[in-house]
Structure 1
Amino acid sequence: MIRSMTGYGRGEAVQEGYRAVAELKAVNHRYAEINLRMPRDLLAHEDSIKRLILKKIRRGRVEVYITFERLSGGEPEIEINRPLAREIKRAGDHLADELGVRSDLSVAQLLQFEGVMQVKEAEADPEQVARVLSQAVAEAAEKLWQMRSREGERLAADFVERLDRLAELVERIAERSPLVVEEYRERVHKRVQEWLAGMAEPDESRLLTEIALFAERANIEEELVRLRSHIQQFRSALRLAEPLGRKLDFLLQEMNREVNTIGSKANDLAISRHVVEAKSVLEQIREQVQNVE
């Protein structure tokens, strides 16, 4: 079953004192591309996160947003740079003496100077962080896969409907094709008779030769056979589980080539109209194939 390249998935995990939320948004792209946006202190987990997502995603650009917070455990540690605080106090007292004013630097003011006080969060356990991240990302990737699969089912139904219409046009062209040569023969014969009215009889053998050459040039049977085959291959591919976007795109190119050849060879208004509609149907399919993984 085909899958769309667009979709969204969200996963959340709370365990071991941590909470992680992963949001995945996928759009069309020729290859698989994953862009991560997450806190800098989680960069060590970037590769493992990408591997988890690539288990579910084969094509498409995926924007990944991760938020992470510590819920409990590990009290923060406060460090005071006492030598720096003393130097600041000494410099303040010295300046007060020079200016003849009272030195009134308080402890609270000293602590506000950059570098005097530092608050250090307790270091997180890398293995615990990895577990909670993996759970959130795996859940988000699974939901994204499910959404892309549902959209793929809708795309498949749309493809079937348009392929049915294309197959119908192919059969109409096939029905009309033999009549083109016969009508051409009648037109040529009538024209020659008009030209030679009152003169000698037209050269029947030469006329038949010209008609035969036209019939050979206008023969579209091979194109119709290949076009039917491509349509059937497209239908069969829709039932496969593997990523199909590139294969379907290739089949569309081949079908377009056959339809264009039919349009250039068949010198007939009715067939030309069917060709125009067939091109329109193929373009509609092509637009949808751009969404297929």
Structure 2
Amino acid sequence: MIQSMTGYGKSTAVVKGKKIHVEIKSLNSKALDLSARIVPLYREKEMEIRAMISRTLERGKVDFTIWVEKDDTQTATPINGVILDNYYQQIKQISEERHIPLPADWFATLLRLPDVMTRTEVEELDEEEWTAVRTAIEEAIGKLVDFRKQEGAALQKKFTEKIQNIGDLLKSIEPYEQSRTERIRQRLVEALETIPNVEYDKNRLEQEMIYYIEKLDINEEKQRLANHLKYFMETMENGHGQGKKLGFIAQEMGREINTTGSKSNLAEMQNIVVKMKDELEQIKEQVLNVM
């Protein structure tokens, strides 16, 4: 079963009064193009995070984001009691020494002083929190992979339909191919008969006809195209990671269809070739999304 490169996954972990959000999304790309936005506390784990993502996703333009939502008790800036008490003692001492009146509103005065309401603690990532975060990352990646599988199943269904359509169109060429030999012969004979007093060697005409028909023969192109259609279907069943190979097969299918079109000298056959090209173009557009 093939996988799409388009996917989305999100997960949340709650630890130590913090809600940690992990979000990851991907689009199609020739290789793995990973962009990560990580809050400072978890930056020391960035290489490990990147390794987790690259091991699983392999290809795609991937955007990874992790951010922290703290509750009200965590986001409120604490009052530094030690600094506040130190300011209080200094103000009292200066008031006594210089006979300056004490402030009427102590809190309004003290809370405006430097560093009284400054967050000074430095957060450190411990093993308990990182374990919860790593689990959330793995869960988000897993959800993205599930999304890719669902998209891949839809693509595989569409590819199967298009391949069958091309196969049916290929079979519909046969009746026109079988009748065109006689049409060509009849057209040449009628053209010769319009020329007055002309004599021609019927054996030589037959030889020229054989040479002409051989140049227009499309049996090899039909066989190769049928083989490519079969190989495309087999490759889809081989699992994910087949996107590039499917793209190459689609290119080869296009070559055989184009050659068939160039050798088709009947309007009915050329119309069928146009329809095959249309079906193949839809495959080429979507195969770019296959991992």
TM-score if structure 1 supplies the norm length? 0.83
2:106 and 2:50 map into 1 onto residues whose CA distance is 51
1:121 and 1:284 map into 2 onto residues whose CA distance is 58
Q: Indicate conservation of the 8 Å contact 2:20/2:133, yes or no.
A: yes
1:264 and 1:78 map into 2 onto residues whose CA distance is 85
One-letter identity of the residue aligned with 2:167:
A
Gaps of 5+ in 2: none
Partner of 1:66: 66
Partner of 1:193: 193
RMSD: 3.2
SS for the counterpart of 2:194 is: helix
User: How much has 1:190 moved relative to structure 2?
Assistant: 1.8
User: How much has 1:193 moved relative to structure 2?
Assistant: 2.0
2:206 and 2:83 map into 1 onto residues whose CA distance is 108
One-letter identity of the residue aligned with 1:179:
S
Partner of 1:287: 285
2:258 to 244, 257, 260: 260
Find out whether 1:37 has 2:37 as its counterpart. Answer: yes
User: How much has 1:122 moved relative to structure 2?
Assistant: 5.2
Partner of 1:222: 220
Instruction: Work out the number of aligned pairs and report it.
Output: 280
One-letter identity of the residue aligned with 2:216:
A
Q: Indicate conservation of the 8 Å contact 1:220/1:262, yes or no.
A: yes
Partner of 1:232: 230
Q: Indicate conservation of the 8 Å contact 2:79/2:116, yes or no.
A: no
TM-score if structure 2 supplies the norm length? 0.83
1:103-122 paired onto structure 2 within 5 Å: 109=109, 112-114=112-114, 118-121=118-121
1:202 and 1:21 map into 2 onto residues whose CA distance is 87
Which range is displaced more, 144-153 or 212-221?
212-221
The verdict on how the C-alpha distance between 1:107 and 1:226 changes in structure 2, with shifts beyond 3 A counting, is same
SS for the counterpart of 1:23 is: strand
Q: How much identity, in percent, do the aligned residues show? A: 31
2:109 and 2:78 map into 1 onto residues whose CA distance is 22
Q: Indicate conservation of the 8 Å contact 1:35/1:62, yes or no.
A: yes
Q: Indicate conservation of the 8 Å contact 2:42/2:125, yes or no.
A: no
2:118 and 2:198 map into 1 onto residues whose CA distance is 115
SS for the counterpart of 2:286 is: helix
